[in-house]
Structure 1
Amino acid sequence: MAKIGLLGGSFNPAHIGHRKASLAALQALGLDAVWWLVSPQNPLKSDKDMAPYEARLASAREMAARAPIMVSDFEVQAGTQYTIDTISAIQRHFSHHDFIWLMGEDSVANFHQWKDWRGLARSIPIAVMTRPGYKSDARTARAMGWLRWFVRPASTAKEWTEWRSPAITFLRLPPDNSSATALRALHPDWHLAYRKKAAG
C-alpha cells in the first residue's frame, strides 16, 4: 500500500510554498507521494479573483514537475465540491492506498465551517503544515476545542498509518512566506501566460 498525502486547494496560482511544504511533509510523514487536488471552486472562497481552472491546473503541474507530487483533477472528474465527499470518493477508488489529509495552519482557523468537519476528521488522519503567522490562530481555532483531544505528537508523525481517526498532528516544517494572494497582487494577469501556452 502506498502512503499518500492529499493537499487540496485552489492553487491560484500554485507557488514554491506549496512545493516546499509538500516535500517537507513527505519527509516528515514518510510518504510515497503527495497528490495536489486542484479544486474547481472552494465553497468558502469567492470566485471574484479566481483564475480559470485550466490555468490553475497548469500552474500546479509546472510547479510540481520533477517531484513526487501528482497533480489531480479528481474533483472535476468525480463531481465533488466538498472535501469530505472528495475524500470518501478517493478512498473508494483507491482502497489499496493509505491517505492522510494535509492542510496549512491558516485553514485550521475556519475548519469548523467545512461540511461535516467532524466526519471528515473521523474518516482520515490530518497533518497540519506550518504557515508563518498562523500558529496562534491554528492552536486556538474553534475546531481545536474538539480536535485537541486527538492531537498526536509530531515526533510520531511517521507512525500515522497506525493511528485511529480522529487523529491530527502539527508538523514542524521550515517556514515559507510564499503566498498566492501576494503573487496575484504582483501579477494579476498571471493566468494569461498559461492560456497562451495552451493555445500555442
Structure 2
Amino acid sequence: MIRLPPYAPGMRIGLFGGSFNPPHEGHRLVALTALRRAGLDALWVMVTPGNPLKDPAQLPSSAERFARAKTFFRHPRIRVTDFETPLRVRYSWQTVEFLLRRAPGVKFVWVMGADNLAGFHRWRRWRDIAKALPILVVDRPGSTHGAAFGGVAGWFSRARLPEARAATLCNRRPPALVLLHGPRSPLSSTQLRRRDRSADHAS
C-alpha cells in the first residue's frame, strides 16, 4: 500500500519533487518561500526515484536520498516522502494523476524552481501537468530571464498571475502560474557534488 503524508479535503498542499542529490539551501528557500507566499498548509518534498532527463549512473539510492532529505528539511509543515518509488512511476504526470485520484478535494499546487521551468517543455506530458495543477515557480539565480520570458512562458502567457495573487493560486483553475521573486541561494546540487568529488580527490 502506498503511504502518503497526512492530508484532508480542502488542504492546500505544495508538491515539490526532485532527486535532492543532495538537498541544499536553494531547495530550502524554494520550500519556505512557497509555504509562506502561497499560504500552504503543507509542502511535500517528493524524493523521486530518478530524473529521466539525467544520467542515473551516479545517483544514490532513493532510500539514501530520502534519509538525507528527512534530516535536512526540518519544519512542522514540510513532509518528506518517497512514495513515488513503491508507486514505480517515472514521470511527474503519473504522480499528478495518482494524487488527484487518491486525494480528491485536496488543493494541490506544483512547486518548482525557475531553473526547472526553463526546461519544463522537455518533461513528458508537461501540458497535462499544467492543465491539472496550478504551478508556483520560485526564482533561482541565473534563471530569472529564462523563467519569465523563455521556454514555455508563451504557453503560460494568459495563465500567468502577478506575484501579489500567489495566495490565491491553490484556488485557481489550471492552467495558472505564479513566478515569485525573493531571497535566492546560489547553491545547486551539481555544484555540491563537484565540491565533494574535489574534496575526495584532495584527501
**TM superposition score normalised by structure 1:** 0.89
Distance in 2 of aligned mates of 1:137 and 1:70 = 30
Residue 59 (1) aligns with residue 64 (2): no
Is the 8 Å Cα contact of residues 78 and 89 (structure 1) preserved in structure 2?
no
Query: What does residue 131 of structure 2 align with?
Result: 122
Match of 1:170 among 161, 165, 179: 179
Query: What does residue 49 of structure 2 align with?
Result: 40
Distance in 2 of aligned mates of 1:141 and 1:82 = 23
Query: What does residue 91 of structure 2 align with?
Result: 82
Match of 1:155 among 159, 164, 167: 164
Match of 1:113 among 107, 122, 135: 122
User: Larger helix proportion, structure 1 or 2?
Assistant: 1
Distance in 2 of aligned mates of 1:121 and 1:108 = 11
Partner-residue secondary structure (3-state), 2:157: helix
Query: What does residue 139 of structure 1 align with?
Result: 148
Structure 1 residue 137, shift from structure 2 partner: 1.5
Residue 24 (1) aligns with residue 33 (2): yes
Q: How many pairs does the alignment contain?
A: 190
Identity of aligned residues (%): 37
Across the aligned residues of Structure 1 and Structure 2, the Cα RMSD in angstroms comes to 1.6
Is the 8 Å Cα contact of residues 62 and 85 (structure 2) preserved in structure 1?
no
Partner-residue secondary structure (3-state), 1:106: helix
Structure 1 residue 86, shift from structure 2 partner: 0.3
Would you identify which runs of 4 or more consecutive aligned residues in structure 1 move more than 6 Å?
A: none
Query: What does residue 5 of structure 2 align with?
Result: none
For residues 120-144 of structure 1, the C-alpha deviation after alignment (integer angstroms, 9 at most, x for no partner) is 1000000001101111121232311
The structure-2 alpha-carbon separation of the partners of 1:188 and 1:61, relative to structure 1 and needing over 3 Å to count, comes to farther
Structure 2 stretches of 5 or more lacking a match? 1-9
Structure 1 stretches of 5 or more lacking a match? 191-200
Is the 8 Å Cα contact of residues 21 and 173 (structure 1) preserved in structure 2?
no
Distance in 1 of aligned mates of 2:197 and 2:84 = 25
